[in-house]
Amino acid sequence: MPLTFMRSGWAGLALLGGLAFSTTTPTIGSEIDVKGELGVIVDGTQRFQRIDGFGVNANPASWNDGQLKPALDLLVDDFAMTIWRVIVEKADWEKINDNNDPQVFNWNYYHTLYKTPRFRDLWSTVEYLNRKRVEVLLNVMGIVPQWMGGTIIKQEAEDEWVEMIASLVYYGREVRKIQFKLLSPLNETDIGSPEGPSVGPAQYVRLLRKLVLRLESLGLSDLRMVAPDTASIEKANSAYLPAIMADAVVMAKIAHVGVHNYEGHSASIARAIKRSPYPDRSFWLTEWAAACPGCDNGKRNEDEWSFAKTSTLNLLNHLQDGATAALFYEGYDSFYQHHGSQSFWGLLAYEPTSKSYAPRKRLDTNSHVFKFILPGAIRVGASASNPSLSLVAFYHPTSRRLSIVGYNFANTRRDVRVRLKELSPIQAFEVYETTKSRSRQRERGARVTAGEAALHVTPDSFFTITGLSQ
């Protein structure tokens, strides 16, 4: 994707807060699309959400005496995965009640339980991630013990459920000394088994209230919740969030609104939060990808480019909708107890013969965001004169890096002209491109002249244009 630059009459820039705001107003509109070119304007006066980070869902059952380490290293060190939703499943580990009093822990019982291989894998995975200094969100997935209700949580067993979750958190933090401050104790309660127990909004809030108070009594007041982790954004908007926001005790412990979506739309959750009594709260896509029928049940996706492309387009849509974090489902292929089968959602494919992990195309396409839009980056305005381009743009105030990520829907090469509006000048851009046959290939860079650039965009491609401002 060769880059050339043209002169433009941009003058009178005043630096403010890391972004340069123009004291003159450039003429745009008719100039945006000339000589068959597509015009793109990146507008520093339009500021949206601040990014918390990107990451993955991770199953510690794949730890396998440390054989998982190369996969974790690759995703953290090479692809900047800074948030990890570590999954505990199934949520039925207390097979027999520890005692008849949910207010009193039987620590002889729990100490024995949490030293079993299943939990050693959990502690080892989180300990390794702690050493890599990423943020860990602990998530509980799957149905509860049968004596608590199995596919539901019986009302009379609510305090027992609280005790089970609290014992896990306390043991991990205080006995194993693992570090995490985010917890999602229930998963997809709006659709129920096998993803989690069926729990309605009123009971969900009641359970969260009991849990946060129990954790506070144990000295774990720094722990925050990511909720409601529903499968449906619509259910979150219409039922779960209103119930949560009506309880000030629970809402005080909500760090982020967490939702799942595999279709690439989350604007309604952003609107619901903005209109709520808590408009300052951010939302995370705690599960996101493209739809993959069979990936939960041992069937590989047969069209990797289509899956990769749709997943990343969904990510661009979520960023345009205001998400501050997105966690891909999932980091690597693994075996899930609650489905009883091997998953094939992974950014990394697992090869059982060699016991090794290999990147899939979906990692290449998503890396256009992961590697260049780092925590602290602020989304700025980005518009194209033609819908054949989908775009997001982010400016990082500390590093002063501007990154534009986009996709070309057209089946022909497009000539694109990029103009930076009221942003500090950039001397040189690095350019990267991924197509069905190429993986994040670095193209020849070029110097910037007066903040305007012309480039060629390959058909059916993702591209990143990134550079440091003066």
Measured between alpha carbons, how far is 132 from 412 in angstroms, rounded to an integer? 43
Angle between helices 304-321 and 267-274 (to 10 degrees): 20
Q: Please name the residue ranges forming H helices in 220-263.
A: 233-235, 241-245, 248-251
Check pLDDT > 90 for residue 162: yes
Measured between alpha carbons, how far is 52 from 86 in angstroms, rounded to an integer? 17
Q: Label residue 449 by pLDDT band (50, 70, 90).
A: low
Structure confidence by residue, pLDDT tens digits, 104-146: 999 999 999 999 999 999 999 999 999 999 999 999 999 999 9
User: Which residue in 398, 438, 347 sits closest to 51, CA to CA?
Assistant: 398
pLDDT at residue 451 in the model:
62
Measured between alpha carbons, how far is 254 from 264 in angstroms, rounded to an integer? 24
Using a pLDDT cut of 70, give the percent of the chain over it: 90
pLDDT at residue 443 in the model:
62
Say if strands 441-447 and 401-408 run parallel, antiparallel, or are unpaired: unpaired
Is the alpha carbon torsion for 228, 209, 156, 99 positive or negative? positive
C-alpha pair distances (Å), 111 with each of 19, 94, 127, 140, 468: 54, 12, 18, 19, 52
Structure confidence by residue, pLDDT tens digits, 231-254: 999 999 999 999 999 999 999 999
Check pLDDT > 80 for residue 20: no
Measured between alpha carbons, how far is 127 from 359 in angstroms, rounded to an integer? 24
Query: To the nearest whole number, what is the mean pLDDT of the chain?
Result: 89
Q: Is 288 helix (H, G, I), strand (E, B) or coil?
A: strand
Q: Which residues pair with 402 in a beta bridge?
A: 395, 467
pLDDT at residue 15 in the model:
29
Q: Which domains does the chain have, with CATH numbers?
A: 3-50+375-469 (2.60.40.1180), 53-370 (3.20.20.80)
C-alpha pair distances (Å), 390 with each of 270, 289, 314, 410: 20, 17, 11, 11
Measured between alpha carbons, how far is 58 from 328 in angstroms, rounded to an integer? 9
CB 443 within 8 A of CB 432: yes
pLDDT at residue 444 in the model:
56
The per-residue DSSP string of 74-104 comes to IIIIIT---EEEEEE--S----S-S-S-TTS
Structure confidence by residue, pLDDT tens digits, 287-313: 999 999 888 888 888 899 999 999 999
CA 341 centroid distance within chain: 24
Q: Label residue 450 by pLDDT band (50, 70, 90).
A: low
The two tokens of residue 311 are 């997943």
Task: State phi, psi for 332 to the nearest 5 degrees.
Answer: -155, 155
Using a pLDDT cut of 90, give the percent of the chain over it: 76
The two tokens of residue 166 are 């609290």
Measured between alpha carbons, how far is 154 from 295 in angstroms, rounded to an integer? 31
pLDDT at residue 457 in the model:
83
pLDDT at residue 446 in the model:
40
pLDDT at residue 416 in the model:
81
Q: Which helix (H) or strand (E) holds 308?
A: helix 304-321
